Amino acid sequence: MAPPVVTVRELGKHFGHRTLFTGVSFSIEEGERLALIGPNGSGKSTLMKMLAGIEHYDEGTITNRKGMRAAYVAQADTFTKDETVLTAIVNALTPKARPAHIHDEHEAEIAAYMVLGRVGLEDYDAPALSLSGGQRKRLSIARQMAMEPDLMLLDEPTNHLDVEGIDWLEELLSNADFASVVVTHDRAFLQSTATRIIELSTSYPEGTFSVSGNYEEFLFRKQEFIEGQSRAAQSLATIVKEDLRWLGRKAKARRTKSKSRIDASHERIDELAALKARVAPPKAAHIDFSATDRQTQKLVIARGLRKTLGGKLLFTGLDVMLTPGQKLGLMGPNGSGKTTLIKILTGEIDTDPPTPEELAEAARDDASGLLPHGTPLCGTIKRAPNLRVVIFSQHRTELDPKMTLAEAFSPSDSVIYRDKLVHVNSWAQRFLFNKDQLRSPIATLSGGEQARVHIAKLMLEPADILVLDEPTNDLDIPSLQVLEQSLEDFPGSIILVTHDRAMLDELATQILALDGEGEGGCRYFADYQQWETIRQREARQPKAKSKPAEAPTTSSTGAKPASAPAPAAPKPKKLSFKEQQELAGMELAIKQAENEVQKASARMGDPAVMADRKKFTEVCREHAKAQEESAKLYERWQELEARK
């Protein structure tokens, strides 16, 4: 049996008078997929940096297996302005960082091409800083993979990945030949990928709680642990009650008692306090967004939206209606236009003008009475008067890193929440900050703590529409659960952009998916489960495979080696007479199926249908069924055509 990749014993870290963690011990086995979770500020990122060798520890030891190579992917993806996709990896493969079999820059370049093919980045000359957040994260991971590590350390890697990117990362780690440690609060990721979960928290006797298995197993074992601790606390409470009665006697009556019993009593009292702290519910921020008292039933009505950006058609013919109680999940790959659509709906930028054909079609529908009274025509947006929109930005640029926590909350010593004056100390405590932290600069706070500050500021603004762009980034699991409950209870409308699949599944009453393929495709789905089911089915359908990128033979000319000829495919069986008849009628069948898809799609865009959740769900199912039938016909047609 191979020795552990890393062994950690009695590790501790202190910042001044504050103990971040102490007595932490665990090992990382070969090929293990370990997930590290815990409350914001518990020291997860610090511990990861210690494992990577870039942060010192105050006590304990970290022992690496002989020859072990570790690679670290930080939360923030850093590249220089001169680096391209290719050179970002080549530059990282310094003589010290290269695997033993890479001897020079030419071999480093070949290795870079190979790893870029694995992560799906093919524009080798693109500036690294021009990539989307998800692409930069892939490049950061590729940069570390090129070093061929035995241990990959990833700090919040899913924060900037879209759902397809998270799927890719899950598959990468599941099939990897290296061990990995991931700091994440993505519950779906924990469920599908982790082989062991360690929670880092000072509430545990040894600073950690470790469970082999996925997230579901972790929750089950943690509940067992808490119930056991509760039973122990109840038994100990009976003994402590007697201790307190005995200790409360007058000094004269106690003088003959042994000092050892007094010490034992105090030890039991301390132990009971620790047990009670251990079984107490985890602390979470008190999140409760304020809504206006508006009674308007149609907050935003948009018809026939079209937007082109940088020559790429993001969406076209898109209808959107936002109503109170609606929670619209906005899906799509990075760069598909989600943020652009939000800016259009909130009035920050304009939609493209409609084409003459779209205007003519809209005018015909209006003249025929097909549109409900008051519906905007193609390419227009109608917003309720004095509409109040509150936006949670994933970039949080409005937080000045030099500002103190108190200044970020309020320029004065109080805030106004729901028409009541609240002292800034009390407001800070609501979001798990103590009064000593109020003097700390924003830059010293963890990512999760900064997210809580951002939420605290937004809660002071009553809203008709909440726009939440990746609100889950950096939040710990208890805060995520409180956030979900607050959003569930919010009476206004919500636009939710998030990679957190568990949150989408829990909250979204409707999904709008942008395809991001440059053809303007967009579709509605009844809920997240329907979107996920159709996405997986479409992913299994055969597509024309592009030729994989190959490494050049030389770095100077860029010439690439000729690929080996593919083995000859077996000759397909000829069509039978019945199959020939089926193929002859296939064009008509496909046309009829496409007509059914278009009819269902038109009904989904009808504002009257969109306003009725039951009817909309029914139409979404019809649309999905029609799409499935159309896809089956196309697949069959391709099969028959190939055998002609």
Model pLDDT for residues 447-481, shown as the tens digit of each residue: 788 888 888 888 888 899 999 988 888 888 888 88
Q: What is the full DSSP assignment across 204-239? A: STTSEEEEES-HHHHHHHHHHHHHHHHHHHHHHHHH
| Contact present, 306 and 317 (Cβ < 8 Å) | yes
Crossing angle of helices 85-92 and 133-145, rounded to 10°:
30
Q: Residue 600: pLDDT band by 50, 70, 90 thresholds?
A: confident
Question: Would the pLDDT of 348 be above 80?
Answer: yes
Q: Residue 148: pLDDT band by 50, 70, 90 thresholds?
A: very high
| For range 24-45, the mean pLDDT | 92
| For range 110-139, the mean pLDDT | 89
What top-level class would CATH report for the domain 6-219?
alpha beta
| For range 603-615, the mean pLDDT | 68
Q: Specify the amino acid at residue 629.
A: E
What top-level class would CATH report for the domain 295-387+507-532?
alpha beta
Neighbour order of strands in the sheet with 18-28: 18-28, 6-15, 59-64
Of 292-301, 381-390, 625-634, least confident by mean pLDDT is: 625-634
Model pLDDT for residues 252-299, shown as the tens digit of each residue: 555 555 667 667 776 777 776 776 766 666 666 778 787 887 777 889
- Predicted pLDDT of residue 262: 67
Model pLDDT for residues 556-582, shown as the tens digit of each residue: 333 333 343 444 445 556 677 677 778
Q: Specify the amino acid at residue 349.
A: I
Domain made up of 572-644: CATH architecture? Orthogonal Bundle (1.10)
Q: How far apart are the first and last CA of the chain?
A: 56
- Predicted pLDDT of residue 497: 92
- Predicted pLDDT of residue 376: 59
Query: Strand 510-514 vs strand 327-331: parallel, antiparallel, or unpaired?
Result: parallel
- Predicted pLDDT of residue 431: 86
Question: Between vectors from CA 135 to CA 134 and to CA 138, what angle results, nearest 5°?
Answer: 90
Spell out the residues 6+ positions from residue 602 whose beta carbon is closer than 8 angstroms to its own. Answer: none
- pLDDT > 70: what percent of the chain? 83
Closest CA to 450 of 398, 504, 499, 389: 398
584 vs 301, higher pLDDT: 301
- Predicted pLDDT of residue 248: 67
598 vs 164, higher pLDDT: 164
Q: Residue 543: pLDDT band by 50, 70, 90 thresholds?
A: low
Locate tokens 């509150």: which residue?
390
List the domain boundaries for the chain.
Answer: 6-219, 232-278, 295-387+507-532, 572-644
Whole-number average pLDDT of the chain? 82
- Predicted pLDDT of residue 52: 94
Q: Residue 178: pLDDT band by 50, 70, 90 thresholds?
A: very high
Q: Residue 251: pLDDT band by 50, 70, 90 thresholds?
A: low
Spell out the residues 6+ positions from residue 579 whose beta carbon is closer than 8 angstroms to its own. Answer: 640, 643
Q: Residue 241: pLDDT band by 50, 70, 90 thresholds?
A: confident
**For 414-428, b where at least 16 C-beta lie within 10 A, e where not — what string?**
ebebeeeebebbebb
- Predicted pLDDT of residue 392: 86
- Predicted pLDDT of residue 278: 65
Of 134-138, 318-322, 622-626, least confident by mean pLDDT is: 622-626
- Predicted pLDDT of residue 395: 67
Whether 6-219 and 572-644 share one fold: the answer is no
